[in-house]
Amino acid sequence: MSLYRINRQYRFITFAFLFAWFSIARADLTIEIDHSSDNAAPIAIVPFEWNDPNDAPPQNLAQIIGSDLYRSGKFRPIDDAKLPARPSKLEDINYPDWRALGADNMLIGSIKKNAQGNYDIEMRFVDILRQEQVIGKKWTNIPARLLRQVAHVISDMLYKELTGIRGAYNTKIAYVTLRKVDGKKQYSLEIADSDGYNAQPILKSSEPIMSPSWSPDGKKLAYVSFENGRSEIVLQSLDGKMRKIIAQFKGINGAPAWSPDGKQLALTLSKDGSADIYVMNMQTGKLRRLTRNLAIETESAWAPNGHSLFFNSDRRGKPQIFQVFLDTGEIRRISFVGSYNANPAASPDGRYVAMVNGGNSDTNGFKIGLLDLYTNDFRVITKTYLDESPSFSPNGEMILYAMNKNDKARLAVVSIDNSVTQVLSVKDGEVRAPSWGPYLDSE
């Protein structure tokens, strides 16, 4: 069976659901660095000073921050055993010792348990060559459950300082897992930190859950549910206060995608015969049909300016990526490398379109390809197997996608320069349909 046929069934309830997921456990995702860059810059992340000699801190902040930066492929934290000292204050730094390590920057800090049972954190990011602090910040009265989030915020600050690009560590991802419980399949739609920790289910079902899509404010998810025996598009708030069906038309209801301003939702419907792309006004529910073709038109993704959408169509015989402009209705093909291109995703800056690429004489199987809309350059950026569902990080530096390894569905993250790949797995099950959420606050 071709991947395209699988994707069609995966997206639409009207097609028989033939997935072979056999067991999935709901748990934090574990990360395995599949390959990383040899050119990563060394950086010193000193373990934070802790004020209780009789107990360990609830989170190792330095380790979380170091792992975040390492996963970017741009930085290589120096091994703890090679650190010449463990200063927590600027006056304790002996700069010649740290320059000898070859690192230009170092992070020092402290975490203290206060009288309320919460934690006070202080960090300083230091330019070793100039011998001066470039970032300093304190957090007070932080509960233990938020310590990982503080670590991710620090990672974002360091990434911005070092690259000029906002970090995306303090963000969330959504995905679907499947496992067998008492011999029956159980699907779970889960939300986790960008590094796979703090996984929380927001929906469990014995029926498939597909295509989660984040609202631009990060407060809601739209997804496809089969709970009522057919495909329906559901809107659910992450605070648990709202859940409603917004599309239950005759035939296919699939592939929801939020517009950048959150006012519209693109979706695939077959209520008028063929599967075509529609846009729903989220205030009125009014639909606008964007495509009219007997081919299957699906998997739409908004351009970041909200003026056009990319979508997958087999109107030329085999699946390729097209772009439809909302003001004129013009439709044009944009993918030309390989006989199969599907699952488009636009980068936040509008420069790239990621897609699943197959039938490419230069690669085997289905990989994630990246089309540069400025130059029309196309390159394959993954080496994994049966890749699908690419989703950009909100800063456009990484792509989250689903893949297959050892006959097991997993997630992976690849940098757009292909310098590092991470594999995210659940212990006893499989995981698919990833979607990287937006920034949760303004910079």
- The ranges of the chain with pLDDT < 70 are 1-38, 427, 442-443
pLDDT at 1: 32
Measured CA to CA, the distance from residue 389 to residue 368 in angstroms comes to 9
Q: Tell me the CA distances in angstroms from 57 to 65, 105, 148, 376, one per residue in order.
A: 15, 25, 12, 50
pLDDT at 424: 78
- List all residues 6 or more positions away from 31 whose beta carbon is below 8 Å from its beta carbon: 67, 71, 195, 196, 422, 423, 424
User: Do residues 366 and 3 touch, judged by C-beta distance below 8 A?
Assistant: yes
pLDDT at 148: 96
To the question of pTM greater than 0.95 for the whole model, the response is no
Q: What are the phi and psi torsion angles at 228 (to 5°)?
A: -100, 20
Residue 338: is it exposed, middle or buried by C-beta count within 10 angstroms (0-12/13-18/19+)?
buried
* Closest by Cα among 366, 369, 407 to 387: 366
Q: How many residues does the chain have?
A: 443
372: three-class secondary structure by DSSP: strand
95: three-class secondary structure by DSSP: helix
Q: Domain coordinates of the chain in residue numbers?
A: 38-163, 171-439
pLDDT at 16: 28
User: Do residues 210 and 222 touch, judged by C-beta distance below 8 A?
Assistant: no
Its sign, for the CA torsion 140, 142, 148, 153, is negative
In sequence order, what are the beta bridge partners of 421?
A: 35, 414
Q: Tell me the CA distances in angstroms from 439 to 9, 146, 396, one per residue in order.
A: 32, 17, 12
Measured CA to CA, the distance from residue 30 to residue 182 in angstroms comes to 24
Of 2.120.10.30, 2.60.40.1150, 1.10.240.10, 3.30.70.360, the CATH number of 171-439 is 2.120.10.30
User: Do residues 323 and 334 touch, judged by C-beta distance below 8 A?
Assistant: yes
Encode pLDDT of 355-409 as tens digits. Answer: 999 998 888 889 999 999 999 999 999 988 899 999 999 999 999 999 988 888 8
Of 3.40.50.720, 3.40.50.10860, 1.10.3720.10, 3.40.50.10070, the CATH number of 38-163 is 3.40.50.10070
Measured CA to CA, the distance from residue 101 to residue 117 in angstroms comes to 37
Measured CA to CA, the distance from residue 124 to residue 135 in angstroms comes to 6
Measured CA to CA, the distance from residue 157 to residue 139 in angstroms comes to 14
Encode pLDDT of 209-219 as tens digits. Answer: 999 999 999 99
